[in-house]
Amino acid sequence: MRYLSVFIILSIVLCSCKSKGVLKDDDFNKDKLIEKIDSQLKYSPVLKEDFDLSKRRIFPRTLEEGAIGLVSKRDWTSGFYPGVLWFTYHLTGNTEWKNQAIKFTELLESEQFNASNHDIGFKMMASYGLGYKYSKNEAYKNILIQSAQTLITRFDENVGCIRSWDHHKDKWEFPVIIDNMMNLELLYWAWKETGDSVFYNIANTHAKTTMKNHFRSDYSTYHVVNYDTITGVAKSKVTHQGYADDSSWARGEAWALYGYTMAYRETQDAEFLKQAEKVANYIINVAKLPEDFVPTWDFSLKDVADEPKDASAAAVMASALYELSTFTANKENKEAYLKVADGMVTSLSTDNYFNTQGADKGFLLRHSTGAKPGGSEIDVPLIYADYYYLEALSRKIKIQNN
């Protein structure tokens, strides 16, 4: 088997920040890294034979005071644990991981009809989407198509977007968050599988409306845009998880980068590629990543010494940058994307971020931040950080093998 290259970053100068360059060769041996992943995931309590799958909360999301934080299938993160299992099966070839992935995926079957928010795309593509990719189970295809049909019921023609949330109706008339770009992958998938252009048109309209209203001149992004449902005009632009309304929430930038890279992959629309490249430029050259390439939870913070990192943002960015490197026609951009993605995966794979064996109930990565302003999930493992880290690693291996 080939090995992941040793990402030795000795003298990269990026945004006037020098890389630490203190790396260990063993951290980037593909076989050993996959072995670490395989070994660590086995410590999850939900994999034990006596774990009760009939309980309401069964999907790992985070740690809560040292105990595993479990959520129900209705939570927006519920699909990521099955996705972690599918990726681990893909990386290891071990059918036991496939069996576990099938078990946890199929516990989400009823979510294909859950129209209560936009997160059905996150949930179903991470679980049934990967499951269909790696198993070709036709029943999964039908569930995904129904999921897409459920998602488009939240589209408003006057606004030109899919409504994100139904809560806080006293604050927002029609809220759309930058995260919602990620859910469009389900619609593009359904368009290609069914040939029904309704899915394509809604996804494209949402992406272009978001491009118009969610971005500042430097291509940093607002978190929440609130629309008037009569006129379709953006009434306000605020944050829910970032530092301030006009700040640059790190994971929001990651969602934007990933979302427009994915939209270009699915449509070959040059406008989406240009948008993804502009967001990448903001992250790399304007926001200024720290020495280890893993951002603090918001790029706009002035004093970051005591602020928590967000490994989940780095994982999403790395995965997106690997894919974007395969699309861009600009050689310098390609090299920059690969260097930054390699720097992120390098850091996330070392002891600074990757858990020691047996720690943290089987989660792979430490030091993620969910919602700092609300005091929620600060400096903890998060299941979606693990998911996008595994996706980034898979994309890195594919690029090297090609």
Helix (H, G, I), strand (E, B) or coil at 159: coil
342 is a catalytic site residue = no
Beta strands in 167-296 (DSSP E): 175-177, 224-227, 234-238
Phi, psi values for residue 210, rounded to 5°: -65, -40
User: Which residue matches tokens 């071990």?
Assistant: 94
Q: For residue 316, which of 244, 239, 249, 224 has the smallest C-alpha distance?
A: 249
179 is a catalytic site residue = yes
Helix (H, G, I), strand (E, B) or coil at 256: helix
Radius of gyration over every alpha carbon of the chain, rounded to an integer in angstroms: 20
Q: Could you tell me if residue 289 is left (phi over 0), alpha (psi between -120 and 50 degrees) or otherwise beta?
A: beta
Helix, strand and coil in the chain, % to nearest 5: 50, 10, 35
d(CA 220, CA 230): 27
d(CA 301, CA 244): 9
Q: Which of 50, 170, 179, 298 is catalytic?
A: 179
Q: Which of 27, 119, 292, 386 is catalytic?
A: 119
d(CA 313, CA 348): 11
User: Which residue matches tokens 């090299």?
Assistant: 335
Long-range contacts of 193-199 (CB under 8 A, 24+ apart): 193/141, 193/144, 193/145, 194/145, 198/152, 199/148, 199/152
Phi, psi values for residue 372, rounded to 5°: -60, -45
Per DSSP, the chain holds a count of helices (H) and strands (E) of: 13, 11
User: Which residue matches tokens 């040939």?
Assistant: 195
Beta strands in 12-152 (DSSP E): 13-14, 17-18, 59-64, 67-71
Catalytic residues: 119, 179
